[in-house]
Chains A and B, each alone.
Chain A
């Protein structure tokens, strides 16, 4: 392959970079030269073929054991976040709950509501002893009536947190940010 493709004045490296720029701005000499076109088409085809090689391998599932070491490590690294006082006794004894544990509780309550999945959770307590404000984004199953689902979840979260002690819940804001489809399995 000579360095001047088809007498166009452009080298293979030029064509390669031109292809990666998405062939813009358009260079008329290249677009009208048969040999340049052939080279560009071949480059594109080889790129596509290498993606197919990867896709072919990716279609084979990994063994369950492949995931074990990762998930073991992940399970060990629990993100606790800060402490939130749950009970304050007169004698000064305090029981706290971590933010991470409250996230888990809220996710568990929300996921139990039919057709709802809890996404991001944010807690806000302006000062100690103030009611805890909860902000939750959720995904709702396609076709599920939203208002009752959201109401059920709101009450559930409030109840689950307040049941444990003196901690009171202020606002529970729920944002529906996603919709998911039932039975839509991976791949």
Chain B
């Protein structure tokens, strides 16, 4: 199937919705690297990101026939990934309460790295944000989701999302002051 890789997202999505596994495979290869990178920022670790995206893609395969606007397949996939990621974070929080020993994301190498560039500095700042602040930041700044969409994803009100995003931005601006 040499030329499937030249087809548009919308075309591949409607073909995959008809049950074509090859078309779905092309879509997956086209978008998975972005989804993993997005989920890495969201969950804080690469291993969690891999799990979330793999689960999300299988869910997507099953739900494709319900996708109403095939042109928006990428943002649809992003939404499924963020849903999986926030579910996972919620579950992790619960198990953290039971098992205090678990140190979520504290072994992230980015925490100990001395920032050598503005980008590294921001990575470090983001990894040090509390989870609830980091999640709204990533959903807004990277996912481009609205306050209302984020509210649904994290199970809070839009007003709470607005407050958390402002707190996240305040911390980022303060800690990134030297780089501004």
| Residues of chain A whose beta carbon lies under 8 Å from any beta carbon of chain B | 1, 11-13, 16-17, 20, 39, 42-43, 45-47, 49-62, 66-67, 69-71, 73-75, 77-79, 81, 100, 103-104, 107, 111, 117-121, 137, 139, 141, 177-178, 180-186
26 A–B contact pairs at CB < 8 A? Answer: A11-B166, A16-B166, A20-B140, A20-B147, A42-B180, A46-B169, A47-B141, A52-B119, A53-B122, A54-B142, A57-B33, A58-B37, A58-B38, A62-B32, A62-B36, A70-B58, A71-B25, A73-B61, A74-B24, A77-B62, A103-B20, A117-B4, A120-B18, A139-B11, A177-B11, A180-B7
Does any Cβ of A come within 8 Å of B77's Cβ? no
Contact among A11, A46, A52, A79 for B172, CB-based, below 8 A: A46
Complex Cα–Cα for A45 and B173 (A): 10
Complex Cα–Cα for A137 and B7 (A): 13
Total count of chain B residues near the partner, CB < 8 A: 58
Does any Cβ of A come within 8 Å of B15's Cβ? yes
Interface membership of chain B positions 7-25, coded 1 if the CB is closer than 8 angstroms to chain A and 0 otherwise: 1101100110111110011
Complex Cα–Cα for A20 and B145 (A): 10
A43-B19 contact, Cβ under 8 Å, with A67-B29, A139-B11: no
Complex Cα–Cα for A117 and B4 (A): 7
Query: In chain A, what residue has the closest Cβ to B144?
Result: A51
Looking at chain B's contact residues, is the secondary structure mostly helix, strand, loop, or mixed?
helix
B18 and A180 form a contact (CB under 8 A): no
B61 and A77 form a contact (CB under 8 A): yes
- Interchain nearest-CB distance for A164 vs B (Å): 19
Complex Cα–Cα for A61 and B50 (A): 13
Does any Cβ of A come within 8 Å of B57's Cβ? yes
B36 and A56 form a contact (CB under 8 A): no
Does any Cβ of A come within 8 Å of B165's Cβ? yes
Does any Cβ of A come within 8 Å of B155's Cβ? no
Contact among A12, A81, A184 for B169, CB-based, below 8 A: A12
A117 and B7 form a contact (CB under 8 A): yes
Complex Cα–Cα for A81 and B41 (A): 39
Does any Cβ of A come within 8 Å of B45's Cβ? no
Complex Cα–Cα for A184 and B118 (A): 34
B33 and A107 form a contact (CB under 8 A): no
Complex Cα–Cα for A77 and B163 (A): 43
